[in-house]
Amino acid sequence: MEINKIFAAIVITLIIVVGIGKLSDIIYKVDKPSEVAYKLEATEDSSLGTKTAESSVDLTALLALGDISHGETTFKKCKSCHSIKKGGKNNIGPALWGIMERKAGGLNDYKYSKALVAHGKKWSFEELNGFLLKPSTWIKGNKMGFGGLKNDKDRASVILYLNQNSDNPIPLP
């Protein structure tokens, strides 16, 4: 008799546990994230800013996608390492006020990697586009720990924002 009671108690408990599991499956089904959101993001990477063997970058078309206020928002990704303010200090990365037309690796009070100094170019729309698309391949061996901005609008916007944060913003190409 005792054994039967215990057995019945176990069975009832099992039924309740399984039942709750099923029920919560039904309740939470709606909230499960769908994969579609990720797929959409992945297809946003387009090739407008990518240099190919036959054609150089169409900077005019690329920059036309940009928007300074969107650039300010996107720059949040850079802020952990870079100051953009006039008179801003070097951080993990060098201060970026007036970066346009400045020589790469051009600040005296920041310790750049040899690779960046050896690059020997001025920051132009084209150089910034190439670098920000994929820092590690544009200047091999540089020490900026950032994967790049693959999205054309984000990249174009940040470039416009960088240009704007300067004593002398240069005209768009």
**Rg of the chain, C-alpha, whole Å:** 26
Q: Quote the CA–CA distance of 98 and 43 in Å, as a whole number.
A: 33
Q: Is 66 one of the binding residues for ligand HEC (CB under 6 A)?
A: no
The correct pick among 78, 133, 156, 160 for binding ligand HEC (CB under 6 A) is 78
Stretch in the footprint of ligand HEC (CB under 6 A) among 22-30, 50-58, 62-70, 143-151: 143-151
Q: Quote the CA–CA distance of 138 and 172 in Å, as a whole number.
A: 22
Q: How far is the CB of 78 from ligand HEC (least distance, A)?
A: 3
Q: Quote the CA–CA distance of 147 and 130 in Å, as a whole number.
A: 12
The correct pick among 57, 81, 134, 169 for binding ligand HEC (CB under 6 A) is 81
The token duo for 171 is 């005209």
The token duo for 5 is 């009671």
Closest CA to 115 of 90, 146, 139, 135: 139
Q: Is 132 one of the binding residues for ligand HEC (CB under 6 A)?
A: yes
10 or 104: CB nearest ligand HEC: 104
Q: Is 146 one of the binding residues for ligand HEC (CB under 6 A)?
A: yes
Binding-site ranges for ligand HEC (CB under 6 A): 77-78, 80-82, 92-94, 96, 99, 104-107, 112-113, 115-116, 123, 132, 142-146, 149, 158
